[in-house]
Amino acid sequence: MNATVLALATAAALTVAGTAAAAPKTAAPTEARNVVLVHGGFVDGSGWKRVYDRLAKDGYRVTVAQNPTTSLADDVAVVKRAIAQQDGPVVLVGHSYGGVVISEAGTDPKVERLVYIAAFAPDAGESVQTLIANPAPGAPVPPILPPRDGFLFLDPAKFAASFAADVSAGEARFMADSQVPWGVEALAGKVAVPAWKSKPSWYLVASDDRMIPPAAQRQMAKRAGASVVEAKGSHAIYVSQPDAVAKLIEQAAQGKK
């Protein structure tokens, strides 16, 4: 749909005045050295720390956007400010609801590539609310509590099992007890023009995810024409499997499909 097409160089036996000429080669994609990381609902940007460390060590300029998860418009505005700070092409990375944010913010001309980490990848007119409206039979149901003052929380007692099953017990407990309220307006925020329709994308499917079913992740990734890899991990795979996450981000930065 929007995948980068890399032409393989071929030798053409063209005889012109007794000489042979070779077909021109397509230039390799340039590497994007700026990475902007966007977190999802119920958490803040601190969960990216291990991924940040690996990317920074490899020479990337990494920015973690602290989007408030109050509404899609507010979150996109924060991410666009982070994009504006970059000095060159950007790889925009989103986890979970962060995938909605990067789908909307990623049309910014500085953004060259998109990376979805166990994330929603909505089409035009879709939101998290519409994407989760009709779960498949037998799919796990996230333990989202009834809204309070327009904000959502996960049941702390069920947080680890649903969100962070492969994170240490102590860290999962901290994540549960430090939840960031997720706005109902953010849940309902609809994407206008999804960036994946015009930008190449990569997708990491978390095969043990109990928040966004892996089958739904695969379906969204296929629809987006993303380059897909899978790793065994929970919804918090960006915390528990930072090597796999950083590897895919660097692959995207280098334009490798």
Task: Write the pLDDT tens digit of every residue in 17-41.
Answer: 333 333 333 445 789 999 999 999 9
Which of 22-31, 108-117, 127-136, 237-246 bottoms out in mean pLDDT, i.e. has the lowest? 22-31
pLDDT score of 1 more than 70:
no
Residues for the chain: how many in total?
257
Structure-block tokens of residue 78: 């924060």
Query: Is the pLDDT reported for residue 5 higher than 90?
Result: no
Mean pLDDT over 142-169 rounds to 97
Which pLDDT value is given to residue 135?
A: 84
Element (H, E) at 62: strand 61-65
Q: What percent of the chain has pLDDT over 90?
A: 85
* Higher pLDDT pick, 25 / 252: 252
The pTM (predicted TM-score) of the whole model is 0.89
Distances from the Cα of 62 to the Cα of 75, 91, 133, 146, 253, angstroms: 18, 10, 34, 35, 12
pLDDT of residue 28: 54
Provide mean pLDDT across the span 2-21.
29
Q: SS3 for 130? A: helix
pLDDT mean across residues, the chain: 90
Q: How far apart are CA 181 and CA 183, in angstroms?
A: 6
- Supply the pLDDT for residue 19: 31
Alpha helices in the chain (DSSP H): 49-57, 72-84, 98-105, 128-131, 156-163, 169-177, 184-188, 214-223, 237-240, 242-253
**pLDDT at residue 247 is higher than 60:** yes
